[in-house]
């Protein structure tokens, strides 16, 4: 028997859905607000959640990532009275099972519900996704990291192409090593190609190989890296830097697994598994005709987005301890402990350079501590300590000025009892100011990007789904 939760502000809708669920033999509960729905989801063990978008206290799409991060990760079916393509995209990107538009007939509800319940039954029968999976050094137990690892483990069971996306420093190369090590090609070659490090005029011959005399300087034949990867994995790092003309040739190689070396007259074949990684928004590049959409479709058979470190701060202490141990062992010095103030700064910092930046910070801190057996905040680089201090004062000095809510007007002498009644609590005051600052920030970002979503993502450092969520939250549109 499955458990279903309905989060909708309409009592009649909740009752109708609950009656339908109970009629087919399952348990059902409901909540009329986002806050009470989230509390019920955290306290229960639900298989499926019907989630309305327009709730009295929040936008349902804002709850979706939090619901999906719950221990058993319930499947979420979105209900909405609005036909919003961007909202549908955001829902699917954040793990929604389906996106249904109201009014919804019983048949339209029962079909996806029965499908999702069959899927949950199959999950129960299957052994844990990460059972026996070699992480190859990947650390972290946060919901965001476990989700990425589960997708990686599933991809390792097949031979399909994989595209890894995410900001610089999130550990894409480590993920590729784990993918190769857990695949049936683990004993085959693992070939890395950094598309950004090889000159554009040499990329084609580097990948496809060339015959002797094919061009000036080709004194001997070269098999090329694609052939070297035969029987194993070919990893194209920084795929977004691949020239358009080479993208076309790569597409044919992926389709046929056959190609002709530069200057050659005969085709050769190679049985390889392609894994690519990029920190660029290939979808936005395809819209600007800077990346071939047909190649993007071919590569995107399995796409895994690696979470930035700021979205998995639960993992920071484990990552830091692991790195401290590695640095101390490498340098032959006694293992150092981490003081509470040291860990506090690590947790509060935004980590624009992600795990790679954390690794460098730990190395610097261990060196600064010298013979002291414990790492304190003063051993951290100045920029981290300054950022933490600015944060404690409410933000950097050049933060945008925002209009004060009426409830937090400047104090006057001789405040009357009626005026005092209008003063909000500190928590409400802080929330109002932060919301106003966020609204102003995202409005300026979109204005600077001229409503180019790809450019706005680059400026803000956010992914598409998070940016869309913030725009919806603050009601920011082109008008």
Give the pLDDT score at 392.
Answer: 65
The two tokens of residue 119 are: 């899927």
CB 193 within 8 A of CB 241: no
The answer to whether position 134 is within a domain reads no
The answer to whether position 133 is within a domain reads no
The answer to whether position 399 is within a domain reads no
Give the list of residues 6+ apart from residue 72 with CB closer than 8 angstroms, or none. Answer: 45, 46, 47
Judgement on whether residues 295 and 341 belong to the same structural domain of the protein: no
* Dist CA 455 CA 238 (whole Å): 18
Q: Measuring CA to CA, which residue among 55, 139, 185 is closest to residue 322?
A: 139
The answer to whether position 130 is within a domain reads no
Judgement on whether residues 239 and 117 belong to the same structural domain of the protein: no
Give the pLDDT score at 91.
Answer: 77
Judgement on whether residues 120 and 56 belong to the same structural domain of the protein: yes
Last-in-domain residue among 63, 95, 125: 125
Last-in-domain residue among 307, 339, 362: 307
Give the pLDDT score at 443.
Answer: 84
Give the pLDDT score at 406.
Answer: 41
196 is in which domain, residue-wise? 143-307
* Dist CA 60 CA 52 (whole Å): 6
* Dist CA 234 CA 223 (whole Å): 14
The answer to whether position 216 is within a domain reads yes
| Buried b or exposed e, range 330-360, using 16+ CB within 10 angstroms | eeeeeebebeeebbebbeebebebbbebbbe
Q: Which residue has the higher pLDDT, 456 or 38?
A: 38
Judgement on whether residues 200 and 329 belong to the same structural domain of the protein: no
Condensed to tens digits (0 to 9), the pLDDT of residues 47-80 reads: 899 999 888 888 888 888 888 777 678 889 988 8
Q: Please determine, for residue 455, whether its predicted confidence score (pLDDT) is greater than 50.
A: yes
Judgement on whether residues 320 and 463 belong to the same structural domain of the protein: no
Q: Please determine, for residue 370, whether its predicted confidence score (pLDDT) is greater than 50.
A: yes
The answer to whether position 136 is within a domain reads no
Condensed to tens digits (0 to 9), the pLDDT of residues 404-417 reads: 444 444 444 444 44
Give the pLDDT score at 404.
Answer: 42
On the 0-12 / 13-18 / 19+ scale of CB atoms within 10 A, 429 is middle
* Dist CA 278 CA 237 (whole Å): 6
* Dist CA 78 CA 51 (whole Å): 5
Q: Which residue has the higher pLDDT, 87 or 249?
A: 249
On the 0-12 / 13-18 / 19+ scale of CB atoms within 10 A, 42 is exposed
Judgement on whether residues 275 and 200 belong to the same structural domain of the protein: yes
Beta strands, E only, 133-202: 162-165, 190-194
Place of tokens 């390792």: 156
Judgement on whether residues 162 and 227 belong to the same structural domain of the protein: yes
* Dist CA 9 CA 52 (whole Å): 8
Q: Measuring CA to CA, which residue among 314, 321, 333 is closest to residue 373?
A: 333
Q: Report the range of poorest mean pLDDT among 177-186, 216-225, 454-463.
A: 454-463
Judgement on whether residues 300 and 319 belong to the same structural domain of the protein: no
CATH code assigned at 344: 1.10.8.60
Condensed to tens digits (0 to 9), the pLDDT of residues 247-294 reads: 998 998 988 889 999 998 899 999 999 999 999 989 889 889 999 988
Judgement on whether residues 80 and 175 belong to the same structural domain of the protein: no
CB 176 within 8 A of CB 217: no
The answer to whether position 318 is within a domain reads yes
Give the pLDDT score at 410.
Answer: 46
The confidence band for 453, taking pLDDT boundaries of 50, 70 and 90, is confident
Judgement on whether residues 49 and 100 belong to the same structural domain of the protein: yes
Q: Please determine, for residue 426, whether its predicted confidence score (pLDDT) is greater than 70.
A: no
Judgement on whether residues 159 and 299 belong to the same structural domain of the protein: yes
Element (H, E) at 28: strand 27-31
The two tokens of residue 86 are: 């961007």
The confidence band for 423, taking pLDDT boundaries of 50, 70 and 90, is low
CB 469 within 8 A of CB 61: yes
Q: Are strands 75-80 and 98-101 parallel, antiparallel or unpaired?
A: parallel
* Dist CA 409 CA 347 (whole Å): 33
Place of tokens 């909740």: 14
User: What is the torsional sign of CA 227, 266, 204, 213?
Assistant: positive
Last-in-domain residue among 287, 307, 327: 307
Domain count, the chain: 4
Element (H, E) at 85: helix 85-93
On the 0-12 / 13-18 / 19+ scale of CB atoms within 10 A, 392 is exposed
Give the list of residues 6+ apart from residue 282 with CB closer than 8 angstroms, or none. Answer: 163, 165, 239, 240, 291, 296
The answer to whether position 376 is within a domain reads yes
Give the list of residues 6+ apart from residue 38 with CB closer than 8 angstroms, or none. Answer: 63, 66, 67
Judgement on whether residues 179 and 299 belong to the same structural domain of the protein: yes
* Dist CA 145 CA 140 (whole Å): 6
DSSP conformation class of 97: S
How far is the first Cα of the chain from the last one, in angstroms, to the nearest whole number? 48
Place of tokens 């293992």: 335
* Dist CA 477 CA 461 (whole Å): 19
* Dist CA 388 CA 346 (whole Å): 9
């Amino acid at each position: 028997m499955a458990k279903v939760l309905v989060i909708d502000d309409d009592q009649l809708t909740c009752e109708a859905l609950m009656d339908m669920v109970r009629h087919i033999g399952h348990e059902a509960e409901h909540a009329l607000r986002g806050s009470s729905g989230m509390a019920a989801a955290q306290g229960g063990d639900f298989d499926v959640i019907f989630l309305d978008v327009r709730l009295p206290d929040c936008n349902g799409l804002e709850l979706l990532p939090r619901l999906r991060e719950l221990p058993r990760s319930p499947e979420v079916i979105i209900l909405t009275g609005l036909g919003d393509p961007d909202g549908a995209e955001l829902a699917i990107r954040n793990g929604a099972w389906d996106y249904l538009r109201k009014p919804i007939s019983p048949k339209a509800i029962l079909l996806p519900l029965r499908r999702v319940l069959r899927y949950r039954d199959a999950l129960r029968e299957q052994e844990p996704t990460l059972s026996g999976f070699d992480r190859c050094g990947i650390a972290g137990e946060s919901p965001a990291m476990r989700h990425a690892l589960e997708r990686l483990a599933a991809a390792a069971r097949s031979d399909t192409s994989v595209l890894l996306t995410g900001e610089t420093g999130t550990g894409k190369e480590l993920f590729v090593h784990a993918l190769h090590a857990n695949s049936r090609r683990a004993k085959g070659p693992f070939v890395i190609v950094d598309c950004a490090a090889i000159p554009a005029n040499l990329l084609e011959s580097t990948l496809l190989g060339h015959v002797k005399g094919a061009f000036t300087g080709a004194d001997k034949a070269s098999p090329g890296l694609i052939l070297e990867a035969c029987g194993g994995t070919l990893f194209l790092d920084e795929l977004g830097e691949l020239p358009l003309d080479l993208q076309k040739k790569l597409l044919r190689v992926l389709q046929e697994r056959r190609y002709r070396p530069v200057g050659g007259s005969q085709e050769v074949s190679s049985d390889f598994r392609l894994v690519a990684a990029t920190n660029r928004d290939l979808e936005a590049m395809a819209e600007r005709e800077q990346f071939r959409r047909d190649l993007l479709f071919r590569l995107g058979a399995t796409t895994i987005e690696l979470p930035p470190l700021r979205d998995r701060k639960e993992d920071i202490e484990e990552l830091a301890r692991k790195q401290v141990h590695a640095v101390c062992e490498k340098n032959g010095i006694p293992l150092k402990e981490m003081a509470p103030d040291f860990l506090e700064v690590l947790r509060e910092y935004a980590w624009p350079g992600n795990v790679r930046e954390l690794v460098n910070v730990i190395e610097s801190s261990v060196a600064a501590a010298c013979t002291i057996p414990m790492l304190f905040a003063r051993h951290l680089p100045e920029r981290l300590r300054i950022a933490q201090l600015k944060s404690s004062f409410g933000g950097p000095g050049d933060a945008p000025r925002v209009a004060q809510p009426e409830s937090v007007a400047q104090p006057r002498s001789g405040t009357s009892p009626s005026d005092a009644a209008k003063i909000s609590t500190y928590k409400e005051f802080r929330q109002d100011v932060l919301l106003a600052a966020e609204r102003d920030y995202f409005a300026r970002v979109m204005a600077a990007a001229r409503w180019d979503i790809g450019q706005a993502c680059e400026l803000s450092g956010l992914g598409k789904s998070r940016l869309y969520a913030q725009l919806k939250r603050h009601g920011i549109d082109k008008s």
